[in-house]
Amino acid sequence: MSVEQGKMPENMSEPAKLGRREQNKRQTRRRLLDAARHLFAERGAVGTTIEDIADLAGVSRATVFNYFPSKNDLLAALLVSHMDALSVLIDDLLAQELTTAERIVGVFSDFAQETRKIPGYLRALTGELEKDLATIEISTERTTGFENELLRLLAPGVERGEVRTDYPLPFLAQMIGAVYLSSVRRWRQNPDHDVTETFDRAARYAADTLAPRERRAAGSGRYP
């Protein structure tokens, strides 16, 4: 049975129509972000234009601006996607029977794994995002969000005696975040560094410093 142009079948509800529209919008947004990731990896963020992203995603330049009014908005969306993925990763780590040290190593090793999915992309993205750190409002929001995720990871370890209590937990989350972000910066500045080795060493150091003093003295706080 045919449907007249511009009309919906009587059995098609408005919510279903809206659902398809929203689904199409999400698919288009995903294509734009995927195009940006691959182009950033190939040309860097500075060398990538909105026209390049539109061409690779198969949409018009105007469509890109409908979703992302500027390249900065697109960069912010990419960061949000990574923060969402980090939250999912931490949920997964918390659901497993792991020590706090193993969970920390899991967070650090995830970054190393992600760098291999689209080589060059995270180097370009993190370099662009660091330019915003001079803006207090932006840097505060980003840092707080990251540290809150780390707090979720550390909190269960306090109850199990795996995390030291001579410093406030938010401070410990800040220090773990500082080690992580410093490792990202060093990796980005030194293309020849082995990212897996770099982040594994940093994770083990971070995990060791979190252990209670008595565990560190006995060597039991170290990651095996």
Query: Is the model more confident about 216 or about 48?
Result: 48
- Length of the chain in terms of residues written: 224
Question: So what's the pLDDT on residue 7?
Answer: 42
Question: So what's the pLDDT on residue 1?
Answer: 34
In the chain, what percentage of residues exceed pLDDT 90? 75
Per-residue pLDDT tens over the stretch 103-133? 999 999 999 999 999 999 999 999 998 887 7
Is 202 in contact with 104 (CB distance < 8 Å)?
no
Q: Is the pLDDT of residue 191 over 60?
A: yes
Is 57 in contact with 22 (CB distance < 8 Å)?
no
Query: Is the model more confident about 32 or about 134?
Result: 32
**Helices within 116-212 (DSSP H only):** 121-130, 136-159, 169-189, 195-210
How far apart, in whole angstroms, are the C-alpha atoms of residue 221 and residue 200?
16
pLDDT range class, residue 37, cuts 50, 70, 90: very high
Q: How many Cβ atoms from other residues are within 10 Å of residue 50's Cβ? A: 17
Per-residue pLDDT tens over the stretch 53-72? 999 999 999 999 999 999 98
Question: So what's the pLDDT on residue 224?
Answer: 46
Is 128 in contact with 45 (CB distance < 8 Å)?
yes
Find tokens 């550390």 and name the residue: 154
Q: To which H or E segment does residue 161 belong?
A: none
pLDDT range class, residue 219, cuts 50, 70, 90: low
